[in-house]
Chains A and B, each alone.
Chain A
């Protein structure tokens, strides 16, 4: 199957103007999977089906979802399933699309998940800036409640499930699952030490699992068609349909759905329209949101799935594909991201708190033309001191890009030192 023939599964309802309404969702077979799960499957069977599907988390970590659910203890609760709708990774906007345009798809998957792990009060942690999504989601929950999909004794199954929508207030770090839990408990979003893991000690100290929006959107499909069918999409250990977010120097930025493993160049050239300005060829691509190592254009013959990108020295991450042409100064681009991480660092632990600010100082100096050669090795050395030594992955999320940009575009960084200006400005102007 070529990707041109691909029929969307996750985005299949979006052609309708009223795709967010329950009536539209039910017309296309919505909530039948929930009914099937509640009436025909035990929670364990739901978990097994999801395991069989090979579904891996779509938030950035790619952890197998069925396995994650199986870490939850059996037995009485309270136990919590939380929908992580705090999408804040630069370059990523797929969860927002799902929440605003097909909230019931997400809700249905979430409710099935609650059933699978034994959660009677599911929380949606929604990014505070997503006000439109909040209104739409609130309405969707009320529509679902009226139909008996939310609340007590869902569809006569005896299973209760209430949904509470929790609005964040502007903090990228709250997308990290333990910081999310802290925020949900009414505190600053400071990530927790692990162990203990949320499945043992989570929200309010109770067993908890946190799942991404897109991950949950896959669940109704898995219950409807079966895990084995789902596993036929993509390849082994990299299964299912995937939403890719294209942004930057492409004529048709947006969310694209394809089976996991589409070639990156096909995504850019066959679907997103190629390069924005044909006179400015591809220079670099960030394949998975700002926190992953960058690819030079000659490294872009790669498949967009978890394992292929790891083999290529980067990560699928949030599938935020940021395309850059040859007008982009890599020092400037890195400085932009370094400022992002410095702004978003919670401030708890030493390497991230101090290191993110220091990165910005060094990069500003380099960008302005006041940098030294030793700054380049310093940046890489700092990354070695930060990565793996912090409480949460935000340290890694800044260290990996810094190291990869300096190493992949060393000549450009050196040019900034010796010529005190951008290589690209000189080349392009």
Chain B
């Protein structure tokens, strides 16, 4: 059952950190997403109950922040930067290469569940453009070769 005991302990600790319990909502949602891989409606209902918020409020928050996903993603969730500085350093062509290699379009998941792909806005790594974030990790200064090698290494 989600959240499990370890998550609950972390959630209790997070709630204690703030003068007002609702402040812990983003932390709670991060933890729930870590456990399930995405945030399901029942997670939102649980979070609302835990923090004394309305379910409409929680759902509104989940829909606002781009890191919160309401559907499962691939094991390796590729978040490819599409903003100007990366575009200037070849991100557009690299993205096309990426899509061909994975065989999916933005917003899709490979059939084996290994990769999902989205484009995201500036990740604050413009000095090492073009770049992407896969799950939690940044992969910077990408070239076609580096990208291929990285994808090969992600099982």
Contacts and interface: CB of A to CB of B under 8 A. Distances in A.
Interface string B15-53: 001111111111101100000000000000000000101
A186 B51 contact: yes
Interface stretch (B95-103, B126-134, B145-153): B126-134
Given A248-B88, A343-B121, A93 B127 contact: yes
Contacts of A188: 60-61, 64
B143 interface: no
21 contacts: A90-B121, A121-B19, A127-B124, A128-B30, A128-B65, A169-B29, A171-B64, A183-B26, A186-B21, A186-B24, A186-B53, A188-B60, A247-B126, A248-B84, A249-B88, A253-B129, A255-B127, A290-B83, A320-B126, A339-B82, A344-B121
B104 interface: no
Contacts of A290: 83-84, 122
B127 A170 contact: no
Interface string A70-95: 00000000100000000111111101
A340 B83 contact: yes
Contacts of A183: 26
Interface in B102-134: 120-129, 133
Given A167-B26, A186-B25, A247 B20 contact: no
Contacts of B84: 90-91, 248, 286, 290, 322, 333, 336-337, 340
A324 B88 contact: yes
A245 B30 contact: no
Nearest to A99: B124
Interface in B68-108: 68, 79, 82-85, 87-89
Interface residues of A, number: 55
Given A169-B68, A185-B20, A186-B22, A93 B88 contact: no
Nearest to B17: A164
Interface string A317-337: 000101010001000010011
A183 B18 CA distance: 13
A343 B122 CA distance: 11
Given A88-B122, A88-B124, A328-B88, A129 B64 contact: no
Interface of B: 17-27, 29-30, 51, 53, 57, 60-61, 64-68, 79, 82-85, 87-89, 120-129, 133, 136-138
B26 A168 contact: yes
Contact of A91 (B19, B27, B57, B85): B85
Contacts of A337: 83-84
Contact of A204 (B20, B88, B138): B20
A273 to B, nearest CB: 12
A82 B81 CA distance: 28
Contacts, number: 145
Name the residue among B29, B83, B120 with the largest chain A CB count within 10 angstroms.
Answer: B83
B122 A336 contact: no
Name the residue among A87, A132, A248 with the largest chain B CB count within 10 angstroms.
Answer: A248
A130 interface: yes
Contacts of B133: 129
Contacts of A132: 136-138
A166 interface: yes
A40 B105 CA distance: 61
Contacts of B67: 128-129, 169-170
A425 B136 CA distance: 37
A230 interface: no
B60 to A, nearest CB: 6
A249 B19 CA distance: 47
A333 to B, nearest CB: 6
A336 B83 contact: yes
B83 A247 contact: no
Interface string A218-252: 00000000000000000000000000011111000
